[in-house]
C-alpha cells in the first residue's frame, strides 16, 4: 500500500503497532488509541497520534477525516474480561466497530477489521474453513462475530468495501501482559528459569501465526477486490501446547521444569485455520514458521 491516508485504530497496541510500522514509510498514517494497553514507544515519529477512545464519535470523526482505509484493531482483547463485563466490552468491541463502519461510509473509506477465530467457538471441523458454523463460546466471540457480519452487510447494503480478518493465535515481539497469550507467558517463564505452566494435559492444539504475517494479511486486505468477505489468518499448522512448551524451553536454553495445572474453564480443544480462501482470494501465504518465529523472539531479533 502506498500514497494513501490511513487510520489504524488501536495503532499503539500489539498488532496495530506492527501494522503502523509497515505502513508509515509509504503512507500518511494516523493512529487513534487511548493508550489503555498500547504504548507510545511503539510508534514511529512521523505518524499523527489522536489520543482518544474509539467509542467517542468526535475523536473517531477527527481521526477518520479524509482517509482511504481504516484498519480497525482497537478492541478489548482479553476473553476473560469480556466474560466479566459483557456490556462494557460490547461497547468497545461492537458499538465502536459500528461507529467505524458509519464513519467509513461518510468518508467512502475501506475498512479492514480484526475479527477472530473465536467466532467458530469449538470448530466443527479441522482445519476450519470460513464457511463453518459459528458458535462462539464467549462474549468476545459473539462481539467479533457480530462485527464480522456487519462488515459483510455494509458491503452488501451500502457497497462499502470491507474485509474481516479472523486472526488465529497471534504472537510476536511486543506481546506481553497478563492476557497476552501463551507464547509470551511461556517465554517469560523460560527466561526466568521458572516453571512453564501448562493448563490441562497440554494435548490441546493451536495455530500460531506470527504478527508479521498478520500485517501482510492486512496489507493484502487493503487492496483486494474480493471485499465483503471474512478470511482466516493463521498458518494452517497446529501445534500442541506441550510441544510448544518444549520448543520454547529449547530455544531459550532454559532449565525450567514443565508443570501442569488445572485446565482453563471452557478452553477450546483444537483450533486450526483452513487457508484455502485466504490464499486464493487474498494471496495470503504465511512466511514465518513457528520454529523460526520462536527463535527470533528468544534471540530478541
Ligand atoms: C485465543 C486468543 C483470543 C481468542 C481465542 C479464540 C490469544 C492471546 N488469544 O485464545 O483472543 O481469539 O483464541 O478461541 O491469541 N495456556 C497454558 N498456560 C498458560 C497460558 C495458556 O497452558 O500459561 C493454554 C491455554 O489453556 C490454551 C492455550 O494455551 O489452551 C492458548 O491460550 P491463549 O490464552 O494463548 O489463547 P486462546 O487460544 O485461549
The residue nearest atom 14 of ligand 1, judged by CA position, is 118
Query: What is the grid cell recorded at 257?
Result: 521444569
pTM of the model: 0.98
Q: How far is the C-alpha of 19 from the C-alpha of 73, rounded, in Å?
A: 10
- Any atom of ligand 1 within 6 Å of the Cβ of 238: no
* First-last CA distance in the chain: 25
pLDDT tens across 218-272, in order? Answer: 999 999 999 999 999 999 999 999 999 999 999 999 999 999 999 998 899 999 9
CATH topology of domain 5-170+211-236+272-282: Rossmann fold (3.40.50)
Phi, psi of 94 (to 5 degrees): -110, -55
Q: What is the mean pLDDT of residues 159-171?
A: 98
Strands 5-9 and 28-33: parallel
Architecture of domain 171-205+238-270+290-299: Alpha-Beta Complex (3.90)
The full set of domain ranges for the chain reads 5-170+211-236+272-282, 171-205+238-270+290-299
- Cα distances from 147 to residues 78, 99, 114, 136, in angstroms, run 17, 11, 9, 13
Q: Give, for ligand 1, the residue of 77, 136, 199 to mutate: max count of ligand atoms closer than 8 Å to Cβ.
A: 199
Residues in the chain: 301
The CA-atom distances, in angstroms, between 5 and each of 66, 95, 224 are: 7, 24, 17
Q: Would you tell me how many other CB atoms lie within 10 Å of the CB of residue 248?
A: 25
Residue 134 CB contacts under 8 Å (≥ 6 apart), including other chains: 119, 120, 121, 145
pLDDT at 256: 98
> Exposure pattern of 76-101 as b/e (b: 16+ CB <10 Å)?
bbbbebbeeeeeebbebbbebbebbb
DSSP code at position 119: G
Residues with Cβ within 8 Å of residue 288, at least 6 apart in sequence = 210, 212, 213
Could you identify the atom of ligand 1 that is nearest to the CA of residue 186?
23
- Is the Cβ–Cβ distance between 97 and 111 less than 8 Å? no
CB of residue 170 inside a 6 A radius of ligand 1: yes
pLDDT at 180: 85
What are 36-93's pLDDT values in tens digits? 999 999 999 999 999 999 999 999 999 999 999 999 999 999 999 999 999 999 999 9
Give the residue numbers annotated as catalytic, written as ranges: 140
Which residues partner with 238 through β-bridges?
A: none
269 lines ligand 1 (CB under 6 A): no
- CB of residue 15 inside a 6 A radius of ligand 1: no
pLDDT digits (tens, 9 = 90+) for 168-215: 999 999 998 777 899 999 999 999 999 999 999 999 999 999 999 999
Helices (H) and strands (E) in the chain, counts: 11, 13
Amino acid at each position: 500500500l502506498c500514497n494513501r491516508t490511513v487510520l489504524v485504530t488501536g495503532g499503539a497496541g500489539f498488532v496495530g503497532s506492527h501494522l503502523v510500522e509497515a505502513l508509515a514509510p509509504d503512507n500518511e498514517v494516523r493512529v487513534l488509541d487511548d493508550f489503555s494497553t498500547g504504548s507510545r514507544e511503539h510508534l514511529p515519529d512521523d505518524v499523527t497520534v489522536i489520543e482518544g477512545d474509539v467509542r467517542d464519535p468526535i475523536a473517531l470523526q477527527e481521526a477518520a477525516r479524509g482517509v482511504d482505509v481504516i484498519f480497525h484493531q482497537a478492541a478489548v482483547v482479553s476473553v476473560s474480561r469480556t466474560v466479566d463485563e459483557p456490556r462494557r466490552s460490547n461497547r468497545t468491541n461492537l458499538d465502536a466497530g459500528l461507529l467505524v463502519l458509519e464513519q467509513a461510509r461518510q468518508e467512502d473509506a475501506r475498512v479492514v477489521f480484526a475479527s477472530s477465530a473465536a467466532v467458530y467457538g469449538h470448530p466443527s471441523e479441522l482445519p476450519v474453513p470460513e464457511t463453518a458454523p459459528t458458535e462462539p463460546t464467549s462474549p468476545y466471540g459473539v462481539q467479533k462475530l457480530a462485527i464480522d457480519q456487519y462488515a459483510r452487510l455494509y458491503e452488501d447494503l451500502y457497497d462499502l468495501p470491507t474485509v474481516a480478518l479472523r486472526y488465529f493465535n497471534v504472537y510476536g515481539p511486543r506481546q506481553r501482559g497478563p492476557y497476552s497469550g501463551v507464547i509470551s507467558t511461556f517465554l517469560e517463564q523460560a527466561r526466568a528459569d521458572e516453571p512453564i505452566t501448562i493448563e490441562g494435559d497440554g494435548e490441546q492444539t493451536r495455530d500460531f501465526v506470527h504478527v508479521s504475517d498478520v500485517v501482510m494479511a492486512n496489507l493484502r486486505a487493503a487492496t483486494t477486490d474480493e471485499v465483503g468477505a471474512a478470511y482466516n489468518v493463521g498458518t494452517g499448522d497446529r501445534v500442541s501446547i506441550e510441544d510448544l512448551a518444549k520448543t520454547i524451553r529449547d530455544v531459550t536454553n532454559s532449565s525450567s521444569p514443565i508443570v501442569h495445572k488445572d485446565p482453563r474453564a471452557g478452553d477450546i480443544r483444537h483450533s486450526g485455520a483452513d487457508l484455502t480462501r485466504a490464499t486464493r482470494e487474498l494471496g495470503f501465504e504465511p512466511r514465518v514458521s513457528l520454529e523460526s518465529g520462536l527463535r527470533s523472539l528468544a534471540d530478541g531479533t
